[in-house]
Structure 1
Amino acid sequence: MEVIKNLVFLFIIAVFPFVSYASEDPTYVGIAECKMCHLPHFESWNTTKMSKAFDLLKPGVRAEAKKKVGLNPDEDFTNNEFCLKCHVTGYGQPGGFTTFEETPEMVGVQCEMCHGPGSIYSRMMLKKKGTYKREDYMKKGGLRLPKPDNNACTEKCHHEGSPFVNPDMKFDFENRKALGTHRHDIRYIDMPFDL
């Protein structure tokens, strides 16, 4: 009987952290929270154009490229809903970007733009002690592990609805990666994660 009690107790301890998050929808937390555990990824991201995507919406920035696709280079696009969907993180979503004045920490194309809102994952990882497969926790925490390729990038932003998608400016992941736009060389997804 004592063995059964112990097994039930161990089962509850093992399952409870996941059950407590089951009814909750994840929200956006921002790069500062991701950076706490993923510093090499942050440092890589911080050197890319993704981290500065919001700046492209400012008047005068990349004027020639804007003219080429019929945009007014002197216009301020930093409050344009169509542009914000791709140039900030979590636009219009719980915890995501609202305005530059209210949520400046959410500007740019951050981790959660591809991996999804990280609130549950972040709390789960901070709460647990020991070695875990990050991939399992990402699934339970609601995050995604998209394969870094052309499809993953064009699904959300680099698609036909974007003013910068035309035959002359078609998005090419491998080319952009080589130019330093996207870096995915620091990947530890299959490695155990120690807290």
Structure 2
Amino acid sequence: MKSLASYVFFGALSVACLLVSCKPDMVADSLQKVPDPPVISRRNPEETLTLFLTGNTLGTLKPCGCSTGQLGGFDRRAAIFNRVPENKKLVIDTGKLLGGDSQQDSIKLSMIFEALTLLDYDAVNLSSIDLTLARDIGLLEDNIFKVVTASDAAIPSIFARDVQVAGRKMRVNAVAIDAESLDIDNLKNIFSDATEQLRLNILIAENLDCSDDSDILTAIEAMNIVDVIVCSPEADEPEVLSTGKNGLLVITVGRFGKYLGELTVGISKGDSVNLSYTAIAVDETLPVTAELVELYGNYQQMLKDYNLLEELPKIPLAEGLNYAGSDACQLCHGYEYDKWSIKKHAHAYQTLVEVGSQYDPECVECHVVGLKYESGFVNESSDKGLRDVGCEICHGPGSRHIEAALSGNDVVGLVSPKFGCNDCHTPEHSPGYGADKDGYFKKIIHWMEPEANKNVK
């Protein structure tokens, strides 16, 4: 191998302010400050360097908590980082902190910058959306971590740090590139170093085809300068995409913060660099950090203060339809209503209240009726019949159906918009659903048809 100002005040929130779990019983015993756990390493930590790599968080501050077994959360990362001594690790985020550019994303970005500070990140790559919002809300100054980006020539694209590995000095270079504007020949200049010290050169690549037949990837490997390329992921778990004949390691860091990538760097005889890459699950058994739990509470409070639920644009329903609320269905469908009322769907809104997420539009949508539509749920002052996973989430707005029934006219069938199970039971929110759809379906049966799973409308 080679030799080696809208929301400007968000950033001023107290650093001692980050993550309440969506399930209080999973958090109640974890709010104390977490002591540093013992050092754990597959190799002697005195002989290796560990790079923790994260990225593609896409605005996911923590798992929603709607089911057990969920992975992720900024509040659990420190429990992994602290396994390695401070002087034997670097922590780098490879970008795509956000998944959008909404008002809620702006609030998230402020919280994420606070979290990265509390977690002692060394470098953070900002993708184009991240950079635009960070500049708009004044987050680019006075950070303890190095900000790099390939999206603005006025901001450095390279992070460099001298470290000790097995008693030897090594220069770690991490460079953000955009493959669409990359000058391959310029890589030699980017990684040039007048010294003869050992080097580890990492490319954090956007818009790069990382398949085996990628011309750019082939050209980079042929230069024998780059050791590691971090590509955009297609899976939640970090992966090793390829290991080239010249030792080039092509990897991803996963998505949504469910895993951390651990790159272990060692030196063999002859000054060759050995690399190993492992995915570490950020699972719910890890202890949380109190400051990060508190910071997430601040985030929830800001969503309330900014009335984001009330600010949501509303889509008109077709043909003058309105949501009537679940209570209106009880008159004619008493059996079904009574059965539904003892199911978990009938208490979905309260689960948000218990953890302070009843002001978060991203959570509320799947716990109420018609959040994004006119006459649907707006906020906690809305008709209580619009709370919970009620009748009209699955069956559609019922005003015309009810009017016809009460007037003695022919009953009108229910119409769209209707949510399907898959709209809310996604892999992120409900990891076990995909493998047990029949089991989940049986839990919600509240009608009298003998072959309910075939006849339900």
1:184 shift after superposition: 4.2
Q: Could you say which residue in structure 2 is the equivalent of 1:183?
A: 445
Matched, 1:91 2:384: no
What is the alpha-carbon distance in structure 2 between the residues aligned to residue 48 and residue 88 of structure 1? 15
Deviations 1:143-167 (A, max 9, x none): 68x8xxxx9411x21124xx3233x
1:33 shift after superposition: 0.8
Q: Could you say which residue in structure 1 is the equivalent of 2:421?
A: 153
What is the alpha-carbon distance in structure 1 between the residues aligned to residue 340 and residue 381 of structure 2? 23
Q: Secondary structure at the residue paired with 1:95?
A: coil
Q: 1:182 to 1:115 in 2, by over 3 A?
A: same
What is the alpha-carbon distance in structure 2 between the residues aligned to residue 184 and residue 152 of structure 1? 16
**Among candidates 156, 170, 176, match of residue 433 of structure 2:** 170
Deviations 1:64-94 (A, max 9, x none): xxxxxxxxxxxx1101101111000111312
Q: Could you say which residue in structure 1 is the equivalent of 2:415?
A: 142
Specify the code of the residue in structure 2 equivalent to 1:170.
Y
1:104 shift after superposition: 2.6
1:95 shift after superposition: 1.8
1:175 shift after superposition: 1.3
Specify the code of the residue in structure 2 equivalent to 1:90.
G
1:28/1:119 contact within 8 Å kept: yes
Q: Could you say which residue in structure 2 is the equivalent of 1:82?
A: 362
Q: Secondary structure at the residue paired with 1:50?
A: helix
Gaps of 5+ in 2: 1-317, 453-457
Q: Could you say which residue in structure 1 is the equivalent of 2:217?
A: none
Specify the code of the residue in structure 2 equivalent to 1:118.
G
Q: Could you say which residue in structure 2 is the equivalent of 1:121?
A: 401
Number of aligned positions between the proteins = 133
Q: Secondary structure at the residue paired with 1:58?
A: helix
Deviations 1:12-54 (A, max 9, x none): xxxxxxxxxxx83311000111111110110110111000111
Q: Secondary structure at the residue paired with 1:36?
A: coil
**Among candidates 335, 338, 357, match of residue 43 of structure 1:** 338
What is the alpha-carbon distance in structure 1 between the residues aligned to residue 333 and residue 348 of structure 2? 21
CA RMSD of the aligned region, Å?
2.8
1:119 shift after superposition: 0.5
Specify the code of the residue in structure 2 equivalent to 1:164.
H
Higher strand share: 2
What is the alpha-carbon distance in structure 2 between the residues aligned to residue 79 and residue 159 of structure 1? 21
Q: 1:125 to 1:143 in 2, by over 3 A?
A: farther
Gaps of 5+ in 1: 1-22, 61-75, 190-195
Q: Secondary structure at the residue paired with 1:112?
A: helix
Q: Could you say which residue in structure 2 is the equivalent of 1:13?
A: none
Indicate the percent of aligned positions where both proteins have the same amino acid.
24
Deviations 1:123-174 (A, max 9, x none): 0111126xx6x5xx21xx5368x8xxxx9411x21124xx3233xx335332
Q: 1:120 to 1:84 in 2, by over 3 A?
A: same
2:325/2:383 contact within 8 Å kept: no
Q: Could you say which residue in structure 2 is the equivalent of 1:64?
A: none
What is the alpha-carbon distance in structure 2 between the residues aligned to residue 40 and residue 119 of structure 1? 20
Q: Secondary structure at the residue paired with 2:376?
A: coil
**Among candidates 6, 29, 39, match of residue 324 of structure 2:** 29
Q: Could you say which residue in structure 2 is the equivalent of 1:73?
A: none
**What TM-score does the superposition give when structure 2 sets the normalisation length?**
0.27
**What TM-score does the superposition give when structure 1 sets the normalisation length?**
0.59
Of structures 1 and 2, the larger Rg is shown by 2
Q: Could you say which residue in structure 1 is the equivalent of 2:271?
A: none
Specify the code of the residue in structure 1 equivalent to 2:340.
W
Q: Secondary structure at the residue paired with 1:100?
A: coil
Point out which structure has higher relative CO (alpha carbons under 8 A, 6+ apart): 1
What is the alpha-carbon distance in structure 2 between the residues aligned to residue 31 and residue 123 of structure 1? 15
Q: Could you say which residue in structure 2 is the equivalent of 1:20?
A: none
1:91/1:98 contact within 8 Å kept: yes
